[in-house]
Structure 1
Amino acid sequence: MVKKNLRFDHLEVEGIITQCLSNGLFRVKLKDNEALIVAHISGKIRQKFIRILLGDRVIVEVSPYDLTRGRITHRFRSGKNK
């Protein structure tokens, strides 16, 4: 599921957190092509104190200029809290 955001020039890709690194960085495995990228938390997620844990499904904004780095913009709710 790759969406191109027309307002900004970013790609939105779904992925799964595979590793928690220091300073709000995470290693994310993309759902489409199984690539691993390094992503940081967006400002809104940081302000709302939303916890990102290992195994969470997230949406990552990736720049078309650097496909190895991204920004986590959304965390899906877990299956328990439907």
Structure 2
Amino acid sequence: MAKEELLTLEGFIDEVLPDGRFGVTLDNGHRIIAYTAGKMRKFRIRSVAGDRVHVEMTPYDLTKGRITFRERTPGAGPGPARRAGIRR
């Protein structure tokens, strides 16, 4: 299957499931199970319940998807400050 055939939909995370999976309610009212994309895992982008996300789905199975983008929540800062590592 080519990547051009993927459906991209928006929704919000309503449930955090084990093994890096999430229950996502789409804007059209359907509920699916989605997992975090590899780039999000690589850069440690964390998702929690209530986050607005973009989900890619294949037209062959409309019950599963892949979270590819998490929108920033308004009012949230840049995140916790990093601790400087001690070099010896």
TM over 0.5: yes
Percent of pairs identical after alignment?
A: 45
CA distance in 1 between partners of 2:70 and 2:33 (Å): 16
CA distance in 2 between partners of 1:48 and 1:38 (Å): 22
CA distance in 1 between partners of 2:24 and 2:8 (Å): 13
Structure 2 counterpart of 1:48: 43
Structure 1 counterpart of 2:60: 65
Structure 1 counterpart of 2:5: 9
Secondary structure in 1 matching 2:47: coil
Pair member with larger Rg? 2
Provide structure 2 residue ranges, at least 5 long, that are not aligned to the other structure: 78-88
Shift of 1:7: 4.6
CA distance in 2 between partners of 1:61 and 1:14 (Å): 9
Secondary structure in 2 matching 1:46: helix
TM-score normalised to the size of structure 2?
A: 0.82
Deviation per CA, 1:57-76: give whole Å up to 9, x if none: 00000100000000000000
Task: Count matched residues.
Answer: 76
RMSD: 1.5
Structure 1 counterpart of 2:20: 24
Secondary structure in 1 matching 2:62: coil
TM-score normalised to the size of structure 1?
A: 0.87
- 1:74 and 2:55 matched: no
